[in-house]
Amino acid sequence: MTEVEVRDVTAPDAPEVTDITDSDDRIEGQAEARSTVFIYAGDDKLAELEAEDGKFSAPVENLAAGNELSVYAVDEAANKSEAVTVTVKDGTAPAVPEVSAVAVGATAVSGKAEAGAVVRVFAGDEKIGETASGVDGLFEVKIPQQASGKELVVTATDAAGNKSGARTVKVGEGQGAAVEPTYIDGILVANKKYGLPPSYAPGVDPTAQSALNRMLADAAKAGHDLSIISSYRSYSYQKDLYNRYVATHGEEQAKRFAALPGHSEHQTGLAFDLGGTESEGDWLSGSFGDTPAGKWLASNAHEYGFIVRYLKGKEAITGYIYEPWHFRYLGVENATAVYNSGLTLEEYLGISGR
């Protein structure tokens, strides 16, 4: 009688792997009993272990969301299963949002959170506003005006649904002494000396916006396609922006091109930063003044009620570097008078800019 050896040539089933996140420190799952489980990240072997009773649990570290892991099993007869690919999920909650002071009368809450996170603001159990933070993490959530002393709770939720801890701010806390807007000869002034209160939040002035639309349309007819880089900014948004510039450039440099909160013309709703679509490399740069679009604006903006606010060689007067992209609406009569004088607004009004 001839004996025949029956060999095991059947590959084990692919392992079943429990969902894993970047906050986990083990990979767990099931595989054929007594098979050896191999776990790889690309060409790097993370683990090799036996599934004694059909279960396995391997320690891992430094996993990042989006990493792909390959897991397969080899049985005692050296048959190899198909590999299963497991993607590491984002299981890390965003950091608690940084939130600026909320002034009495404010219509926005601003700050910084994880980039792309959905930021929500609650007053008690009621959600009163939400928005997505930008690629730089900055956010500004529009809210109804809240009473002084009202506690607001701010959270951030990332794309994977992970929710941060809560930040609580009290309306009116830390907003400082009251400041009243300053008008000189009927012109609202916002510069390094004259400020605006945190509660001053008019949004973009509709008359200025209408004039800007006409100017952009006529510029396009003249062959200059222009984009609005920046317009209205709230007090709190300017505070976050200024602090970011200080962190990047240092305060001495930052204050040459960025305004302190409450001292930005953008808070008036009458200022616009413009740039040519054909020369984005010149955006927010002195070189914009040498481009065809920049020259056209400098020569024609007053006809629509705008002036180049910060002129070349006038930093000692205005406190700011030459900004050929920054246009302030004064109305046609005032803008034409300032343009024809060749003076800065400070010189024209006879006021200090420092």
DSSP letter (8 states) at residue 174? T
Token pair belonging to 71 = 């897991």
Strands 98-99 and 55-59: unpaired
174 CB neighbour count, 10 Å cutoff: 11
CA-based torsion, 263, 264, 265, 268: positive or negative = negative
For residue 85, list its beta bridge partners: 70
Please tell me the chain's helix, strand, coil percentages from 3-state DSSP, rounded to the nearest 5: 25, 30, 45
Contact call for residues 265 and 298 (beta carbons, < 8 A): no
Separation of alpha carbons 201 and 221, rounded Å: 34
How many Cβ atoms sit within 10 Å of the Cβ of residue 145?
13
Of 323, 333, 346, 347, the catalytic one is 323
Is 278 catalytic? The answer is no
Six-digit token pair at 237? 């948004």
Q: Are 104 and 199 in contact (CB under 8 A)?
A: yes
Active site residues: 323
